[in-house]
Structure 1
Amino acid sequence: MDQHASTLLAFPPQDDSVDNETYHKAAVAHVQRISKMIKERSRDLVVFSAELFNVLPSRNPVVDPAVNSLSYLAILHALLFPSLAAKLPQDLILQKLVTFMMVFDGRQCRYGGPPLLEIMDAVGSGRLLPPSVAVECLASAILKLDPSGTILTSSHILLTKLAYDTDNIQPALPVIEKDIVYYPGMANHQDAPYLCDLELPPPLYISKTSGLTTSLKSSMVLEYDLVGGMMYCARREWWKARKAFERVITFPTKDGGCSKIMVEAFKKWILVSLLADGRHSNTPPPHTSESTVKIFGILARSYVSFATAFATDDVEQLKLEAHNNAQLWMEDGNVGLVEEVMASYQKWRVLSLQDIYTKISIAEIRQQTKSAETGAVLNKDEDVEALIHNMIIAGMLKGVIEKNDDGTKFLLFLSPTTHLSERELAKEIQGYAAKLREIKKIFTATSQRLGTSKEYIKWVVKESKRDKSSEAQDPTLAFDTQIDDEDLMGGAQDQ
C-alpha cells in the first residue's frame, strides 16, 4: 500500500513554475510507472482503492482527482473496466467517477490517452450514469481538455446523441455552441513535442495518436451538425438551427455529390429559415455546389413549394401544400417543424405590415391577416392583441399598442435601432475584443498549417512564374479552387 501510494502521489511536480520540457518528462515518466503498476499489480489498485479514495482511514495522503488526476484516472479505470469492481459499492465508484469528470486537471490528462477516452466513451454511452448526469460530466470533460471547444472529437458525437435522445440538451450547450475549426488528423498537424504546452492549438495534442479521440468519418461530422441543429429546434432557437443545418448542406463533397443526410438537413433548413426569417431564400448557402443545389431542388421540391406559399398572403394555398404533403412530413420526421411554421404564419404576416404602415389599428390587422391553422381571420380583436403581445414579449416584434380617445387600439411599429448606453457599448466592445483574441490564435495556427501544405507551396511556385501583370494579386485568392474537396476536411474520412 505504501509503495503504491508513493508512486501515485509522485506527480505532478510540487513546483508550479516548471517549464514545459520538465513537466512533459515528469508526466511521461509517471505514465510509464502507472502503466507498469496496472500491468503487474492492477488488482492492488482495486484492493486499496478505498484507502486511496479516502473512503477508509489510511496513514497515507489520499489521491486528489483535481491534483493527482492521472493517478486518480488509473484507479478509476481499474475499478470500471472490464466491469464495475465489487470491492467498493457501485454507487460510490460512480460518485467518484462524477467527481473526477467535473474537476480533473485538463493539462495533466492530456497524457491520459486511451484510458481517459475509454471512460469518456462509457459515460457517453449512457450505461454508467443517469443521462442528465452523464451529459453534464461529458460536456465538462470535453471542455477541460479543450477550453476553446474548437476541435471536433469522437466524444462530441456521443454527447450530442445522448443529449438529444434523452432530452438533456441544456447541459450540452456549452460544448455545442462552440465554433468547430479543427478535426482530428488534419493534414500538416503533427503531434507536439510537449503535450502540456498550454499555448498549443487543440489538434496538436488531441489526436488519434495521443489517444484522446478516434478518427472521424465524414458521416459522423455531418451527423454532429444535423443533431446539433435538431437540438436547437427543440429549444426553438431557429437562427442557430439554421446555421447548423447550413454546415451540413455546404459540406465539401467529391464530384458534386450529395448524401442522404445532406438532403435531410436541406429540408429542415428550409423550414427553420421560415421560422427564423419568415421566408426561404432562393439563394442557396454560400459554397454550395451547383450540382448539389440541383439535387436539393429535385428531392426537396415539396418543401420549396411549401416555402413559396408561406411567403404569400394566399393562406389557402399554404394549407393545401401542408395537407397534400402530410405523409411526406411524417416520413421525414418534420411534422413538428411544419406545425411550428403554420403557427408562425400569421405572426410573419403581421410583421410584413410594417413595410406599409408605421401605425395600424388592431381591427385592420385582424382583417388583413389570417391564421394558417384555420385559414380564417381571428374571431375578435382581443385575439389579435394577445398575438401581438406575445410577439413583443418574444422579441419578434418591436412595437407598442396604443389606445385613442375613442377607444380604438393601434399597433405602433418602432424602429429596430437600439440605442446602447455607454456602459452597454463598452461591454459590447470588450466582447468583440475577446472574440478577436480567440480568432487570432486560430488564424495563427491555420496559417502555420497552410504554410506547410504541399498544395499551397505548389500553388505559390506556380503563381511566381506568372506574368508580372498578375503579381499584385493575392495568391491565396484562387488557391482554394485548386484543392480537392476531400482535403478541405483533413481528418474526416469518407465512409
Structure 2
Amino acid sequence: MLRLDPSAAVLTSTHLLLVKLCLQAKAYSYALPILNKHICHFPDLPERSSSEPSAICVGPGSSLSFITGVSGFSAKLTYQDYLRYFVYGGMIYMTLKEWQSALHFLGVVISMPTANSVSAIMVEAYKKWVLVGLLEKGKLCAPPNITAAHVMRVYQSLARPYVSLAQAFERGDLKRLQGEVDAAKDIWCADNNFGLVSQVLDAFFRQSVIKLGRTFAALTVADLARQVLPSPAEETVTESAVSSLIMSGVLDASLVQTQDPAGLSILRFSAVPSFPRLSHELEVQSCLKKERQLMEHLVCNLEEINTALGMSDECLDSLQRGQAWAASGGVNPTPTETVGLEIDEDLMGDMS
C-alpha cells in the first residue's frame, strides 16, 4: 500500500480490509504504518475519472490522479466503509492503549454530518468515545465542535448507561461507579465493551491517587486505602497497585518502608517534577515539529481538494451561470440564492 501511495492519503477498500484483518488476527501493530497516515481524499468518481488519463508516475503527493473509481486500485466505497475504517482504527489504538489517537479516530465518526438519522455505527463509536475519554482524561470529553446538537441528543439517549458511568466517575463516587458497572453488566457485554469498563475502574483508582497527591505530602498505605476505596482492601494489594503506578511513570511518588518490618509503608508524593526541564523542552520541541509536518501535509492536500472542487461539474456550471448573468446585464445570484447545486443532506440515512 505504501509503495503504491506513500502518503496513504486516499482512502481505498484495502485500508478497510487491512485494519479488519489486523483486528481479527490480533496483529495490531501491523496496521499502524497506515493508520498513522491522514486520510484526505476519496477516489474520484467514475464519471470524472473515465475522461481523464491515469498515470502512476506523476510525482509525489498526486496519488489522487491514478487511484480512481475505475483504476482497479479500490472497490466502490460507501459511507459505512468510511465509518468502519475509523471505528476499526480506533479499536486498534485502544488495544495498544494509545488513547489519544483512539479519541481522534472515534471523534471522526461521531462528528460525521447527518440530518434525519444517526447510524448505529456512530452510536457504537460514541459509547467507546465515552469510555476512552475516561481512560485518557478522567472525564466525559466534549465531542468535536462540528457535532450537531440533535445528534448529541440521540447519542445521550441511546448511550445513557455510559453517560451515567462517566458522571459517577467525574464525581469521584466509587460506590455509585461500582453500582453503575454492576447494574449494566449485560449492556457492557452485549456491546463488547466490558474490557474497557474494567479498565475504567482501574483508571478511577489511578485518578484518585493522583488527586490525593495535590492535598497530602505523604500517606500510609492504609490511609490511602481508606481514602480511595469504599472498604479498605488488603494492604499488600493496595501497595502493589501503587507500586505499578510509580514504575509506569503515572504517579510521581515513592514508597518508603519503615524500620519496623511489621510497620506500614508510606507513600511520599514528590513536590517537584522528577524530569529535567531540558527534557521537557525537547519533548515540546518534538511535538511542535510533528505538528508542523502535519500542517504542511494538510495544506498540500487542501490545495489538491480545492483544485478538484474548482474543476467539478457543479463549480463549472456555477461559473457558466455567472458569465451568462454578466453577459445579459443581470446581477449574479447571491450565495443565499439557489444556483443549481443540490446538496444531499441526509448523508447517513441509509446506514440506520
**Structure 1 and Structure 2 fold alike (TM over 0.5):** yes
Q: Which position in structure 1 is the counterpart of 2:38?
A: 179
Give the alignment partner of residue 203 of structure 1, picking from 64, 68, 82.
64
Q: Partner amino acid for 1:400?
A: A
Q: Partner amino acid for 1:361?
A: L
Q: Which position in structure 2 is the counterpart of 1:155?
A: 14
Q: Which position in structure 2 is the counterpart of 1:261?
A: 121
Query: Residues 158-307 of structure 1 correspond to what in structure 2 (within 5 A)?
Result: 158-185=17-44, 190=49, 191=52, 194-253=55-114, 255-281=115-141, 283-307=142-166
Once the two structures are TM-superposed, the CA of residue 378 in structure 1 deviates from its matched residue by: 3.3
How big is each residue's C-alpha offset from its partner over 1:92-138, in whole Å with a ceiling of 9 and x where there is no partner? xxxxxxxxxxxxxxxxxxxxxxxxxxxxxxxxxxxxxxxxxxxxxxx
Q: Whole-Å Cα distance in 2 between the matches of residues 428 and 335 of structure 1?
A: 33
Structure-2-length-normalised TM-score: 0.79
Q: Partner amino acid for 2:84?
A: E
Give the alignment partner of residue 194 of structure 2, picking from 335, 338, 352.
335
Q: Whole-Å Cα distance in 2 between the matches of residues 453 and 270 of structure 1?
A: 39
Q: Alignment partner of 1:311: what SS?
A: helix
Once the two structures are TM-superposed, the CA of residue 445 in structure 1 deviates from its matched residue by: 1.2
Q: Which has the higher contact order (CA 8 A, sep 6+)?
A: 2
- CA 385–456 in structure 1, closer or farther in 2 if over 3 Å, else same: farther
Q: Alignment partner of 1:286: what SS?
A: coil
Q: Does 1:324 align with 2:150?
A: no
Q: Whole-Å Cα distance in 1 between the matches of residues 80 and 196 of structure 2?
A: 24
- Deviating more after overlay: 194-203 vs 145-154: 194-203
- CA 184–386 in structure 1, closer or farther in 2 if over 3 Å, else same: same
**8 Å contact from structure 2 (residues 219, 266) kept in 1:** yes
Aligned-pair Cα RMSD in Å: 3.6
How big is each residue's C-alpha offset from its partner over 1:439-475, in whole Å with a ceiling of 9 and x where there is no partner? 332132123234345667859x79x9799xxxxxxx9
Structure-1-length-normalised TM-score: 0.58
Q: Whole-Å Cα distance in 2 between the matches of residues 358 and 226 of structure 1?
A: 41
Query: Residues 308-319 of structure 1 correspond to what in structure 2 (within 5 A)?
Result: 308-319=167-178
Q: Whole-Å Cα distance in 1 between the matches of residues 61 and 47 of structure 2?
A: 14
Q: Partner amino acid for 1:379?
A: E
- CA 308–433 in structure 1, closer or farther in 2 if over 3 Å, else same: closer
Q: Alignment partner of 1:258: what SS?
A: coil
Give the alignment partner of residue 449 of structure 1, picking from 308, 321, 324.
308
How big is each residue's C-alpha offset from its partner over 1:238-280, in whole Å with a ceiling of 9 and x where there is no partner? 2222222111111122x24201111111111111111111111
**8 Å contact from structure 1 (residues 217, 494) kept in 2:** no
- CA 494–216 in structure 1, closer or farther in 2 if over 3 Å, else same: farther
Q: Does 1:401 align with 2:262?
A: no
Q: Partner amino acid for 1:351?
A: I
Query: Alignment length, in residue pairs?
Result: 327
- CA 414–285 in structure 1, closer or farther in 2 if over 3 Å, else same: farther
Q: Whole-Å Cα distance in 2 between the matches of residues 303 and 201 of structure 1?
A: 43
Gaps of 5+ in 1: 1-141, 468-474, 476-481
Q: Whole-Å Cα distance in 1 between the matches of residues 190 and 74 of structure 2?
A: 34
**8 Å contact from structure 1 (residues 362, 409) kept in 2:** yes
Q: Whole-Å Cα distance in 2 between the matches of residues 278 and 425 of structure 1?
A: 23
How big is each residue's C-alpha offset from its partner over 1:145-171, in whole Å with a ceiling of 9 and x where there is no partner? 111121110011111111101111111
- Deviating more after overlay: 186-195 vs 337-346: 186-195
Q: Which position in structure 2 is the counterpart of 1:359?
A: 217
**8 Å contact from structure 2 (residues 169, 177) kept in 1:** yes
Q: Partner amino acid for 1:268?
A: K
Larger-gyration structure (1/2): 1
Once the two structures are TM-superposed, the CA of residue 415 in structure 1 deviates from its matched residue by: 4.4
Q: Whole-Å Cα distance in 2 between the matches of residues 249 and 424 of structure 1?
A: 31
**What is the percent sequence identity of the aligned residues?**
28
How big is each residue's C-alpha offset from its partner over 1:157-194, in whole Å with a ceiling of 9 and x where there is no partner? 11111110111111121112211111123699755554
**8 Å contact from structure 2 (residues 22, 31) kept in 1:** yes
Q: Does 1:410 align with 2:268?
A: yes
Q: Partner amino acid for 2:193?
A: N
**8 Å contact from structure 1 (residues 362, 411) kept in 2:** no
